């Protein structure tokens, strides 16, 4: 048995609770969390994850932890909001999978008690920065916690995509698409496409082709600090970042991906080996 050094503990002073509006149960659960925290001496606001007034207060640094009630999609959206300002996120799972979440619906009272007792720590997860470039002009910029995907559009025929790493051609794919994922994203779309699972504390980009035809059919883990450029070699191609609506690409466009300048932060409990226990539990589920 090897020893795992524990990170420094984290005790918040100013929590805020947000809910995913498409989950009706989330608001009721959030209200219960607010009541629980009030009994502990906290006056914590709550609202929809898309409430602009509340989002503005979060961006201004008014809170030191965001409690997100929902599923993995809620955690992604909360990550986009909180990562630029360094606010940690604690998730309460009301969704199906919960790869990003340690706390299930029936556990939050116990876990919040542990949080307020100094038994939590902050996990840093790499994000990526992606740019859509056409003829030297940047047409789009995004940060992603999971992945950037360049893929075929409505037409069912495969597309040709060239991938360059640090300015050197890696290979050209004939495929349905190419995923550039973070270690966090290795358990999302990249996993469904047959890619490997990376530990969340790595800072590597993972390239995984989708349904490759007579092309390299294995995922490639890039060296830490490497960047990738995905160059479009055919029409009928789109780009989507963290599941956002796809945007059309033209031939010779490229999507450049590198590690972002900031990380998403998540509140965790127990030793850092929680990831493997959580992963094992999800992968052994008989039904989703």
Query: 200-220 burial, b if ≥16 CB within 10 A, otherwise e?
Result: bebebbbbbbbbbeebeeebb
Q: Which of 25, 64, 72, 253 is catalytic?
A: 72
Q: 165 in the Ramachandran plot: left (φ > 0), alpha (ψ -120 to 50) or beta?
A: beta
72 given a catalytic annotation? yes
- Which positions are annotated as active-site residues? 72
């Amino acid at each position: 048995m090897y020893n795992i050094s524990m990170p420094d503990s984290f005790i918040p002073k100013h929590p805020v609770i947000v809910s995913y509006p498409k989950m009706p149960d989330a608001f009721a659960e959030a209200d219960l969390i607010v009541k629980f925290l009030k009994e502990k001496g906290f006056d914590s606001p709550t609202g929809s994850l898309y409430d602009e007034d509340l989002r503005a207060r979060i961006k201004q640094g008014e809170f030191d932890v965001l409690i997100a009630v929902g599923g993995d999609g809620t955690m992604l959206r909360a990550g986009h909001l909180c990562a630029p300002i360094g606010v940690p996120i604690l998730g309460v799972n009301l969704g199906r999978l919960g790869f990003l979440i340690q706390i299930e619906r029936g556990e939050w009272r116990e876990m919040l008690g542990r949080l307020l007792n100094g038994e939590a720590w902050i996990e840093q997860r790499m994000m990526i920065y992606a740019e859509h470039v056409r003829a030297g002009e940047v047409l789009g910029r995004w940060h992603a916690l999971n992945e950037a995907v360049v893929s075929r559009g409505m037409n069912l025929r495969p597309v040709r995509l060239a991938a360059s790493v640090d300015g050197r051609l890696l290979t050209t794919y004939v495929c349905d698409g190419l995923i550039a994922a973070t270690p966090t994203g290795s358990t999302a779309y990249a996993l469904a496409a047959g890619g490997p699972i990376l530990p969340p504390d790595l800072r590597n980009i993972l390239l995984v082709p989708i349904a490759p035809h007579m092309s390299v059919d294995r995922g490639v883990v890039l060296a830490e600090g490497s960047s990738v450029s995905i160059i479009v070699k055919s029409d009928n191609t789109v780009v989507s970042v963290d599941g956002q609506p796809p945007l059309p690409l033209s031939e010779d466009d490229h999507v450049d991906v590198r590690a972002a300048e900031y990380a998403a932060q998540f509140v965790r409990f127990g030793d850092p080996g929680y990831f493997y226990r959580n992963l094992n539990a999800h992968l052994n589920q008989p039904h989703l």
